[in-house]
Amino acid sequence: MFPASTYIQRRKELSEAIVNGIIVMPGNSDVACNNKGNTYRFRQDSTLSYFFGLNEPDLIGIIDADQGIEYLFGDNIEIEDIIWMGNIQGIQEMANKAGVKLTLQRSEIQSFLNKAISSKRKIHYLPPYRGETIIEMQDWFGVKLPDLIRNCSPELIKQVIEMRSIKDNQEIAQIEEMIGVAFDMHTTVMKLAKPGTSEHELAGIIEGIALSKGNGISFPVILSMNGETLHNHNHGNILQKGRLLLTDAGSESELLYASDITRTIPIGGIFSQCQKEVYQIVLDANIETIRLTNPGVPFINIHLAAAKIIVSGLKNLGLMKGNIDDAIQNGAHALFFPHGLGHLLGMDVHDMEGLGEDNTGYDNNFKRSDQFGLSYLRFAKKPKPGFVLTDEPGIYFIPPLIDLWQKEKKFIDFINYDKVQKFRDFGGIRIEDDILVTANGCRVLGKPIPKTVSEIEKIMAGC
Ligand SMILES: [Mn+2]
């Protein structure tokens, strides 16, 4: 945990910004996997963790914004808990760590809320996303799911996003530590990706690294020769010499901060000339967009700058043609680059996505596009100093999409389908770094992970 003063300060800021009513923050509970006694690995709710720092199940934090009083609801430890779980903390001990003075038993939550409801106090809560929490909250407020969601507090969503978007030095240190773990994960893949090895084995080894050095992976490992499938969690292939291997993986710290890194490497250790040419386009897009990112420029413009580098590179290779700006404006590049350049990163790998993607990445000045490709851009607005974003351009050859567009004669003025068809076994390339927006630019966080052609070939050669 950070010092209690961090959480006290965060709650104070929130309480002052919300002004009226009570803020209810349910933490997560254990979730049954195949039976009640065999649960999934516990993952705390990020917002509860942000404001209270506690990583135990079955807690509820309440902040009374009118009176500036905070409560922590949880249970005392019984002898049975000690027998089965060891010397775990009771609610009072947890409250002390979080700097909260008042504790109540979890069984008292309903009567506490009933009082607030009957005196018509404003109740603020964030959109619930877990079945267990939803069921419980339906009881608390006597409403069904649609109303439960409808009654979420826009004011609380806005304030939590505002606070969590700006990372302080303690949070940056956590993210950088997790990029250090991602360094180990990705360089391990680089060293072990020999022809004949299975994807499954590599995925398991790097997940183990994340578990041995933190709280595990920050999202399910993406590791595949079929890197053109953007979120490919199928690890069923045996590595073949000459193919590319895309790995998108990161780890999560005990305080729940994430890293999210992608590297693409040649199986066998040497890029072919063709792979090298496409790789270099993606790398140029990655490096140039990092150079361009700063608080004065909307991130959508940086995304479009990546698209421009990709289109002009593909034009040089004869895969695209025509006017570059027109191709981008019409969305023709999305055949090769169908996703957004990046997203916020923090305690969630897509930070605060549960509070609404448009609430985190868009504002009054930026509305989400409905154009294929651009519509997947998760973050479009101007970033502020302290924002942590990913920068992850890519080029993919997705055979079903190529065939569909060719059949529809889509963008025939911009795409050389005959040439593109020759790349249908190419796979995909993505290069992803985590960046911190500063007062006048940005910096790549963490220990640099090999990403140039020569750096990757060198480490794969065992140097
Ligand atoms: Mn990412």
How close is the Cα of 134 to the center of ligand 1, in Å? 28
How close is the Cα of 337 to the center of ligand 1, in Å? 14
The number of beta carbons lying within 10 Å of the beta carbon of residue 397 is 22
How close is the Cα of 123 to the center of ligand 1, in Å? 34
How close is the Cα of 383 to the center of ligand 1, in Å? 16
Q: What are phi and psi of 439, to 5 degrees?
A: -60, -35
pTM exceeds 0.85: yes
How close is the Cα of 343 to the center of ligand 1, in Å? 7
Closest CA to 121 of 50, 58, 199, 69: 69
Give the whole-angstrom CA distance, residue 385 versus residue 175. Answer: 16
How close is the Cα of 200 to the center of ligand 1, in Å? 21
How close is the Cα of 234 to the center of ligand 1, in Å? 18
Q: Which domains does the chain have, with CATH numbers?
A: 4-165 (3.40.350.10), 169-460 (3.90.230.10)
How close is the Cα of 340 to the center of ligand 1, in Å? 9
CA separation, residue 268 to residues 165, 194, 197, 200, 211 (Å): 41, 6, 11, 17, 28
Strands 442-444 and 433-437, by their bridges, are antiparallel
Give the whole-angstrom CA distance, residue 336 versus residue 317. Answer: 13
CA distance between the termini of the chain: 39
Give the whole-angstrom CA distance, residue 333 versus residue 341. Answer: 13
How close is the Cα of 181 to the center of ligand 1, in Å? 16
CA separation, residue 67 to residues 6, 111, 119 (Å): 20, 19, 15
How close is the Cα of 429 to the center of ligand 1, in Å? 13
How close is the Cα of 430 to the center of ligand 1, in Å? 10
Give the whole-angstrom CA distance, residue 251 versus residue 188. Answer: 14
| pLDDT tens-place values along the chain, 463 residues long | 999 999 999 999 999 999 899 999 999 999 999 999 899 999 999 999 999 999 999 999 999 999 999 999 999 888 888 888 887 889 999 999 999 999 999 999 999 999 999 999 999 999 999 999 999 999 999 999 999 999 999 999 999 999 999 999 999 999 999 999 999 999 999 999 999 999 999 999 999 999 999 899 999 999 999 999 888 788 999 999 999 999 999 999 999 999 999 999 999 999 999 999 999 999 999 999 999 999 999 999 999 999 999 999 999 999 999 999 999 999 999 999 999 999 999 999 999 999 999 999 999 999 999 999 999 999 999 999 999 999 999 999 999 999 999 999 999 999 999 999 999 999 999 999 999 999 999 999 999 999 999 999 999 999 7
Residue with token string 């169908």:
338
Query: In which element (H, E) is residue 312 found?
Result: helix 299-316
How close is the Cα of 260 to the center of ligand 1, in Å? 5
Q: Enter the DSSP assignment of 413.
A: T
How close is the Cα of 312 to the center of ligand 1, in Å? 24
